[in-house]
Structure 1
């Protein structure tokens, strides 16, 4: 038999590890493992199908919960928008009322000041009229007494 180089030597068929035994055909470990585990996997198939069903139901439930949550979010947002519009309208009405109250107070203060000025003018008017009348009389008298 030809000699095989070192690195390729590991690919040579070999018997089972352990004590020296009668030389034979190398054992097919993959086929043995498959044959041994086929029964286990066959018994696990219903459980695996049940798990797949549970996972699918979970996905369906999660999708339904997401849909409901999105509907609830839209409902809450619409309610909040309506409330906000109502609050804006109330705030505007309060601001207008405060503005009217301020305007009414300013108007009342202006009318009171005008009344005080009118009263003051009426008190002083007699004195001014008397002065003007005296000055006009003096001018008229001076014009009459003067050169003709």
Structure 2
């Protein structure tokens, strides 16, 4: 790389002002510029080649990783398809067990309700039979003019 002094030398005139002198050699500015810029341009070309190589390696690595990811995804899908029947059977068993437990609970609740209803029937039947017998007895023993026509039967609950 050119130093500051070399930089200033670019502005030095080729010859002294005045009449034409013999033996003056004109400065070759393009050669000086080429000599000055050649080392940085060579470094730039090397950097450019290195960047190109890095991009190519990155592309190759990306392709390799993409293919590996595709293989992994394919393996996962195959494993999931292979496990699907087992998982379906387990899910169905869970649903069956839950349904069976719910049905058992509903049957137990129905049995409790039936037992409570039977107890209420057993408690109310004697009183209802007594009312019915009394009403029929009154109906059958009453004279014809006192028998009522229409309306609810005498054994029906009042009110």
With normalisation by structure 2, the TM-score equals 0.46
Larger helix fraction of residues: 1
- Higher relative contact order by CA 8 Å / sep ≥ 6: 1 or 2? 2
With normalisation by structure 1, the TM-score equals 0.49
